[in-house]
Chains A and B, each alone.
Chain A
C-alpha cells in the first residue's frame, strides 16, 4: 500500500515536471510562436513514471540471496580469461568481412584508446580532466594541417601530433598544478572550450567551421591504398584487386596497434617509479609531498603522456575520416571518454575496454535498434515518434550515466588498488624499533 502511495506521489511530481514541458509544446508558425497541447504524450510519460516507480520499489523489496558476490570481484577473477578472449576477438574481427562491424570496431577501439589515455590522467594520477577532447583536437588538427600544408605522410606526422598534444598537455598542466578536484575539472573544461572556439574562429589556419577536407590516408610502408592499382599501391604490389575494404581493415589494425601500444605503455609505466608516484599522488597528495615526491613533475608527466595518447588518437581520427571540423570536438566527447574511464573503474585497463564496448558499441546498437523500430512502426500514432527516435539516443545515454553511477558508483571493475602495495604485515623486533630503524 505504501508502495502504491509512493508511486502515486511520484506520478504527481512527474505531472508537475512533464505537464508543462511535454504537455505544452512551442511551435514556430507564421504568426510567431504558438502553443499546442499534447495530453496523450504527457499521460504516457506520467504513466511510465508511475509504473517505473512501482517496479523499482518491488525490486528493492525483493528477498536477497545470502551469497551475492559483487560483479566486480567476479570480473577481476575472470579477467585473466576475458583479456585474451577480447584480444583474440579484436584480432579476428576483420575476418568477419563485414564492413559495418569493422567500422564499428574501429570506432570502439578509438574510444578504448582515448579511455586508456585519459585513464593515465584520471585513473592513475587522480587528476580530473574534463577537457581531454582538446588534445584529441590538437592531434587531429596537427596531422591534418601538416599533411595538407607540407604534404607529410601519416607515419611522419603521428609522432609530431603526439608531441604537440603532449606540449599542450604540459602547457595546460602548468597553470592548474596548484588546483585540485573540482576546480581542476572546470579549468580543463574551459580549456577544451577555448581550443574549440579558437578552431572555429581562426579561419585563416583551420578553415573555421567548414573544417579541413582531403586529409591523406595512411600508407603501409609506403604502399598507398588507392583504387587505381598502380605499382606503388597496396593492390599493385601484392598483385591483388584493390578494394575499399582493404583500407578499412588496414585502418582497423592501425588503431588496434595504437590502442595496444597505449595499454602496454601504461601497464609498463605503472610499474616504474613514475607510475607508482602517480598512484601515490592519487591516494594522497600531502603524503606524497612529505615523502619527497616531486608533485609538479609527476603531475606534468601525467598530463603530458595522457595528452600524447589523445593526440595519437586524434591523428588517427583525422586520417580515418579524411575530414575534420570543430563539430567533432565538443564537450560531449570529453564527457563520453570520462564516463568510459569512470564506468570502467578508475585505473582498470580491462574495465575501460569493457566500458567502451558497452557505451560506444551499446550506443550504436541502440541507434540501430531504434531506427529498425522506427521502420517497423507504421501506425500513424507512432509515425511522429519513429522519425524522432534517433534523437532519444543522447537522452538515454545521459540517463544511463546517472543510473550506472547510482547503481555502481565505483564502476564496473573497481581496480583501485595500487599496483605496488605492502600486503604482508611484517613483525619487527623491538630492539630494531628502539634504534629507530622500524
Chain B
C-alpha cells in the first residue's frame, strides 16, 4: 500500500511533465492539423536553457532558491518561445497549404537539426546536476517503507498547476485565446472574419514552446540528468498522451499526460523497467484502435 502510494506520487509528478508537453502538441494539431515533430526537441532545448540559467545564476551569486527558480523559468520559457517562433517561421510557414506530408518531413528535419545542434554546441555527454531542493516530507512509514514527498515534487506540481491555470485563463478569457479557439474550429472562416491567422499560429507555437520549456525545467529538476536525446522519447510519449486524451482537447492533454505518467511509473514498479516505453507505446496503439477520438476528443466528421 505504502509502495503504491509512493508510485502514485511519482506518477503524478511525471504525468504533469508529460501533460505540459502534450498541451503544445494538441494546440498545434488542433489549429493546423500537423504533428509538430520538433516539439519534443524544443522541450529538450528548454531543459538545456534551464540548466544554463541555473548555472549562470549560481555563478552570479544568487543563492535564494525561489528567486533562482523564478528567473530560470522566465529565461528558459522566453528563449524557448523564441525557438518555437523561429521553427514555425522557418520550417512550417513556407509549407502552409502544401501537401500533407511536406510539413511533417520538414518537422522531422527540424527535430534532427535541433538535436544535433545541441549535441554540437553543448556536447554529447549527459549533464548531471545537483539537486536544488533536497529533502522533503515523510508522509508515512509502514512496514519499514517510508513514503516520501520531496520538496521537488511539491514544487513541480505547484508550478505546473499554476502555469496550467494561467494558460487556461489565457485560452478561455482573453482575446488571444478567443482567436486561437476560432482558428482551431475553422481556420479559413477565422481568416475571413478578419483574424490574423498567421499571427495566431505563431503565438500558438510560442505558447506551446514556452510550456515545453517549463516541462523541460521540471524534467531537469526531477531527474537531475539531461542529454541531447531526451526530447525524442519524451516527445513521442507526450504525443501519446495528447492522443490518449483526445487530440485537440486541452484538458484531455493534461489528463492523458497524467495517465501516461501513472502507467509508466506503475509499469516500472510492478513489471519491468526495461519495457516501460513499450507499455506506453502499446497503450497508444490500443487507444487508437478502440477509441481513435481519445478520452475527451470529438469524433471527426468526414465530409465528402
- Asked if B275 and A197 make an inter-chain contact with CB atoms under 8 angstroms apart, the answer reads yes
* Beyond known contacts A331-B232, A395-B113, A395-B116: 14 more, CB 8 A cutoff: A21-B121, A25-B123, A28-B125, A28-B128, A183-B243, A194-B277, A194-B281, A198-B278, A200-B274, A346-B101, A395-B120, A398-B113, A405-B109, A409-B102
| Majority secondary structure of chain A interface residues (helix, strand, loop or mixed) | helix
Q: Which residues of A contact B278 (CB under 8 A)?
A: 194, 197-198
- Asked if B116 and A28 make an inter-chain contact with CB atoms under 8 angstroms apart, the answer reads no
Is B193 close to A, CB under 8 A?
Answer: no
Which of B46-54, B138-146, B151-159 is near enough to bind chain A?
B46-54
Query: Given the interface contacts A26-B55, A197-B278, A405-B105, does A32 sit within 8 Å of B95 by beta carbon?
Result: no
Query: Which chain A residue lies CB-closest to B289?
Result: A175
Is A24 close to B, CB under 8 A?
Answer: yes
Query: Given the interface contacts A34-B55, A35-B52, A405-B95, does A335 sit within 8 Å of B108 by beta carbon?
Result: yes
Q: Which residues of B contact A13 (CB under 8 A)?
A: 82, 86
The 5 listed contacts between A and B (C-beta, < 8 Å) are A24-B56, A179-B292, A193-B236, A194-B278, A405-B103
Q: Which residues of A contact B48 (CB under 8 A)?
A: 21, 26
A181-211 residues at the B interface, CB under 8 angstroms: 181-183, 185-187, 189-191, 193-194, 197-198, 200-201
A102-137 residues at the B interface, CB under 8 angstroms: 122, 128
Which of A242-250, A254-262, A321-329, A386-394 is near enough to bind chain B?
A386-394
Q: Report Cα–Cα, A185/B91, bound state, in Å.
A: 19
- Asked if A402 and B128 make an inter-chain contact with CB atoms under 8 angstroms apart, the answer reads no
A26, A190, A398, A402: the one contacting B240 at CB < 8 Å is: A190
Query: Which chain B residue lies CB-closest to A416?
Result: B99
Q: Which residues of B contact A253 (CB under 8 A)?
A: none
- Asked if B117 and A16 make an inter-chain contact with CB atoms under 8 angstroms apart, the answer reads no
Is B148 close to A, CB under 8 A?
Answer: no
Query: Given the interface contacts A33-B129, A182-B35, A401-B112, does A391 sit within 8 Å of B119 by beta carbon?
Result: yes
- Asked if A339 and B122 make an inter-chain contact with CB atoms under 8 angstroms apart, the answer reads no
Is B168 close to A, CB under 8 A?
Answer: no
Query: Given the interface contacts A21-B45, A27-B123, A331-B232, does A33 sit within 8 Å of B288 by beta carbon?
Result: no
| Majority secondary structure of chain B interface residues (helix, strand, loop or mixed) | helix
Is B118 close to A, CB under 8 A?
Answer: yes
CB distance from A386 to the nearest CB of B (A): 13
- Asked if A28 and B127 make an inter-chain contact with CB atoms under 8 angstroms apart, the answer reads yes
CB distance from B37 to the nearest CB of A (A): 9
Q: Which residues of B contact A367 (CB under 8 A)?
A: none
- Asked if B116 and A394 make an inter-chain contact with CB atoms under 8 angstroms apart, the answer reads yes
- Asked if A25 and B86 make an inter-chain contact with CB atoms under 8 angstroms apart, the answer reads no
Q: Report Cα–Cα, A392/B115, bound state, in Å.
A: 11
- Asked if B127 and A398 make an inter-chain contact with CB atoms under 8 angstroms apart, the answer reads no
Across the A-B interface, give the 3 residue pairs with the lowest CB-CB distance, nearest first. Answer: A401-B109, A398-B112, A398-B113
Q: Which residues of B contact A409 (CB under 8 A)?
A: 95, 98-99, 102
Kindly supply a per-residue 1/0 record for chain A positions 405-422, scoring 1 wherever the CB is within 8 Å of any chain B CB and 0 otherwise: 110011000000000000
Interface residues of A, count at CB 8 A: 60
Q: Which residues of A contact B115 (CB under 8 A)?
A: 394, 398
Kindly supply a per-residue 1/0 record for chain A positions 9-26, scoring 1 wherever the CB is within 8 Å of any chain B CB and 0 otherwise: 000010011101110111
Is A178 close to B, CB under 8 A?
Answer: yes
Q: Which residues of A contact B128 (CB under 8 A)?
A: 28, 32-33
Query: Given the interface contacts A20-B52, A331-B232, A398-B110, does A338 sit within 8 Å of B121 by beta carbon?
Result: no
Query: Given the interface contacts A17-B86, A194-B278, A342-B101, does A401 sit within 8 Å of B108 by beta carbon?
Result: yes
Kindly supply a per-residue 1/0 record for chain B positions 49-74, scoring 1 wherever the CB is within 8 Å of any chain A CB and 0 otherwise: 10111011001000000000000000
Q: Which residues of B contact A16 (CB under 8 A)?
A: 79, 82
- Asked if A402 and B304 make an inter-chain contact with CB atoms under 8 angstroms apart, the answer reads no
Q: Which residues of B contact A406 (CB under 8 A)?
A: 90-91, 94-95, 106
Kindly supply a per-residue 1/0 record for chain A positions 280-298, scoring 1 wherever the CB is within 8 Å of any chain B CB and 0 otherwise: 0000001000000000000
CB distance from B207 to the nearest CB of A (A): 17
Is B282 close to A, CB under 8 A?
Answer: yes
CB distance from A155 to the nearest CB of B (A): 34
Q: Which residues of B contact A25 (CB under 8 A)?
A: 121-123
- Asked if A197 and B99 make an inter-chain contact with CB atoms under 8 angstroms apart, the answer reads no
CB distance from A346 to the nearest CB of B (A): 7
CB distance from B259 to the nearest CB of A (A): 16
- Asked if A186 and B45 make an inter-chain contact with CB atoms under 8 angstroms apart, the answer reads no
- Asked if B288 and A187 make an inter-chain contact with CB atoms under 8 angstroms apart, the answer reads yes
B175-229 residues at the A interface, CB under 8 angstroms: none
Is B34 close to A, CB under 8 A?
Answer: yes
Q: Which residues of B contact A346 (CB under 8 A)?
A: 101
Is B163 close to A, CB under 8 A?
Answer: no
- Asked if A24 and B102 make an inter-chain contact with CB atoms under 8 angstroms apart, the answer reads no
Is A152 close to B, CB under 8 A?
Answer: no
